[in-house]
Amino acid sequence: MTAYLKIDHLDKSFGEGAQATDVLRDISLGIEKGEYVSIIGHSGCGKSTLLNVVAGLTPATRGGVILDNREVNDPGPDRAVVFQNHSLLPWLTVYENVRLAVDKVFAGVKSRAERHAWTMHNLDLVQMGHAKDKRPAEISGGMKQRVGIARALAMEPKVLLLDEPFGALDALTRAHLQDSVMVLHQKLANTVLMITHDVDEAVLLSDRIVMMTNGPAARIGEVLDIPLPRPRKRLELAANQTYLKCRQRVLEFLYERHRYIEAA
């Protein structure tokens, strides 16, 4: 039995010949269905590149990605991405942004009315149904990211790829959105691969944390299981021994063993 999403001996280098820079070296990782896995590492370690390879937006140099027994070569809606800067199309309303994805993915499968209902259902899931006729420029950063999540969920992806989804948000909005994502994950049991550089976020949300060494040629340094029961409550965890231990492990990895070396 192989994993649902399998990253198999993946190498990625940019450039060719003598000028090639190795970004990722020999990354192997298996993710089970319904699992929430975070990838954490210092900036520049290639974690975003890894996500782009899984998304199919960047080709792998060697090795590959297998999702549900099929090799991944190009981007597709079965691996919906929530981009760091929301990437909503500014000329479309909130509804139209989600509807564009729904229309494309469910063309010929769902009727017009069903696609409308499915769009609204996903907007309601992230509590954005009320703003469906607003344009992205008219809503806050947190709301934009909610719509980005709704758009990704609406594609009914096999795996949801989150690229530092909360990175551009203020602390309060971020906490609020993290709670929403936890609730959604609980409810829909999506398989999630999340990139982050926030230790608390990783421990709070994940079933497993994959820690990456510094680049160039970043590898997986350590994989940590988070044995905390779900549903998790932010406030209760603040004093939870397991939580604190996990947090400690990740911090030690990032700040002692693989300290970030400032480039120039």
Which part of the chain contacts another protein (CB under 8 A), choosing from 10-18, 84-92, 123-131, 176-184?
84-92
When asked if residue 81 is in the footprint of another protein (CB under 8 A), the reply is yes
Cβ burial 115-139 (10 Å sphere, 16+ → b, else e): beebbbbbbebbebbebbeebbeeb
When asked if residue 109 is in the footprint of another protein (CB under 8 A), the reply is no
CA atoms within 13 A of residue 110's CA, in its CB half-sphere:
18
User: How many residues belong to the site for another protein (CB under 8 A)?
Assistant: 26
- Member of 41, 46, 136, 142 binding another protein (CB under 8 A): 136
Tokens 């993710």 sit on residue: 31
Residues 23-62 that bind another protein (CB under 8 A): 55-57
Residue 193 near residue 162, CB atoms below 8 Å: yes
Q: Decide whether 176 or 208 has the Cβ nearer to another protein.
A: 176
Residue 88 near residue 97, CB atoms below 8 Å: yes
Which part of the chain contacts another protein (CB under 8 A), choosing from 12-20, 98-106, 180-188, 216-224?
98-106
Report the nearest approach of another protein to the CB of residue 101 (Å): 6
- Member of 110, 116, 121, 135 binding another protein (CB under 8 A): 135
When asked if residue 91 is in the footprint of another protein (CB under 8 A), the reply is yes
Q: DSSP 3-state assignment of 191?
A: strand
When asked if residue 87 is in the footprint of another protein (CB under 8 A), the reply is yes
Distances, alpha carbon 208 to alpha carbons 12, 68, 105, 114, 247, in Å? 23, 20, 30, 36, 12
Q: What are phi and psi of 12, to 5 degrees?
A: -140, 125
Which residue ranges make up the site for another protein (CB under 8 A)? 55-57, 74-77, 79-81, 83, 85, 87, 89-91, 100-101, 104-105, 135-137, 155, 235, 238
